[in-house]
């Protein structure tokens, strides 16, 4: 396949590009830097025709890093990078003749779509969005991607949970504390934590790319969600370190401000749509996934 990817230089994007090229796909990157692919400023202009015309598919993973202290300016960048960026990506597709348009758009989203939920309340793709900042961003982000359906492409939306990657994201921030024996549950640890291994995240993206019946939203999380406290114990086991040092919610809020809600709240997200289409998780068990990732 001939595939164009936005966000291809990020953590997930790099692994996805490697997996696609390993199976023989022709991959083009859309990037702010011409050094990494075809140059494009996603918040300022439609995606360039030369990166889209004649491609079989587009995978849209671009977005400002959410894991930083939120000022008004940062929140605007988080929103614009996803909502305006996706709008401009679809505008680039719209500008092409029908015969030159890609037939598939796989677009990112996040577990934040559902907003904070009690850990006893499982959610599937049929559940409505939440109402907090990230939920509104995700809902608008998805709406921009789904507008491409009017132009012909099949659209799949990947609502990603916490990706287990020792080199980036939430896990990488936890590891120094847990390796030092001072890690433990955050804010009481009762909040749900929808996790997924990096290989399954990439596997789901590829399944959505290839599967003709993969349309609409898909929860990218393992079928065995856990609480933050359960995750902490499993990470301690994987590292053979104690994991009993609690981190109070006020300390997280003091450090990160409003962004702390990502850590102190959660959602018990289940991958109902993916499993219904036959996707088999490589790492359904948290202990196994963590041992392979950090053990």
Task: Please tell me the predicted confidence (pLDDT) of residue 33.
Answer: 87
Task: Please tell me the predicted confidence (pLDDT) of residue 251.
Answer: 79
Q: What's the number of CA atoms in the CB half-sphere (13 Å) around residue 178? A: 25
Spatial strand order in the sheet of 104-110: 38-39, 26-31, 2-6, 57-60, 104-110, 154-160, 216-220
Task: Please tell me the predicted confidence (pLDDT) of residue 249.
Answer: 82
Task: Please tell me the predicted confidence (pLDDT) of residue 216.
Answer: 98
Task: Please tell me the predicted confidence (pLDDT) of residue 82.
Answer: 98
> Per-10-residue mean pLDDT for the chain, 295 residues long?
96 96 98 90 96 98 92 97 98 97 98 96 97 97 98 98 90 87 90 96 98 98 96 94 84 81 92 98 96 88
Please tell me the distance from the alpha carbon of residue 59 to that of residue 7, in angstroms, as a whole number.
9
> Do residues 187 and 264 touch, judged by C-beta distance below 8 A?
yes
Residues forming a β-bridge with 195: 162
Task: Please tell me the predicted confidence (pLDDT) of residue 182.
Answer: 85
Please tell me the distance from the alpha carbon of residue 116 to that of residue 215, in angstroms, as a whole number.
25
Strands 57-60 and 104-110: parallel
Domains and CATH numbers, the chain: 2-294 (3.40.50.720)
Sorted by sequence, the CB contacts under 8 Å of residue 63 that are 6+ apart come out as 7, 78, 81, 82, 85, 108
Phi, psi values for residue 285, rounded to 5°: -100, 130
Residues forming a β-bridge with 108: 158
């Amino acid at each position: 396949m001939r595939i164009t990817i936005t966000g291809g230089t990020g953590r997930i994007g790099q692994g996805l590009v490697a997996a696609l090229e390993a199976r023989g796909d022709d991959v083009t990157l859309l990037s702010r830097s011409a050094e990494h692919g075809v140059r494009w400023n996603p918040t300022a202009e439609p995606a360039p025709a030369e990166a889209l015309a004649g491609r079989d598919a587009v995978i849209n993973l671009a977005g400002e890093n959410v894991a930083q202290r939120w000022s008004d300016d940062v929140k605007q960048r988080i929103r614009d990078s996803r909502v305006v960026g996706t709008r401009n990506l679809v505008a680039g597709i719209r500008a092409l003749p029908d015969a030159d348009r890609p037939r598939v758009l796989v677009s990112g989203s996040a577990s934040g779509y559902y907003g904070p939920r009690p850990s006893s309340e499982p959610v599937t793709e049929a559940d409505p969005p939440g109402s907090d900042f990230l939920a509104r961003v995700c809902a608008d982000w998805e709406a921009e991607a789904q507008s491409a359906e009017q132009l012909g492409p099949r659209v799949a939306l990947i609502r990603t949970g916490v990706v287990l990657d020792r080199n980036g994201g939430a896990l990488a921030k936890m590891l120094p504390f847990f390796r030092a024996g001072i890690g433990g549950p955050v804010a009481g640890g009762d909040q749900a934590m929808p996790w997924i291994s990096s290989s399954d995240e990439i596997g789901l993206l590829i399944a959505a790319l290839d599967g003709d019946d993969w349309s609409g939203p898909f929860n990218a999380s393992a079928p065995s969600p856990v609480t933050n406290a359960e995750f902490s114990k499993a990470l301690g086991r994987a590292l053979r370190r104690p994991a009993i040092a609690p981190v109070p919610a006020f300390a997280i809020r003091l450090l990160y401000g409003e962004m702390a809600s990502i850590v102190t709240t959660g959602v018990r997200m289940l991958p109902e749509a993916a499993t219904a289409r036959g996707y088999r998780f490589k790492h359904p068990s948290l202990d196994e996934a963590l041992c392979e990732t950090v053990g």
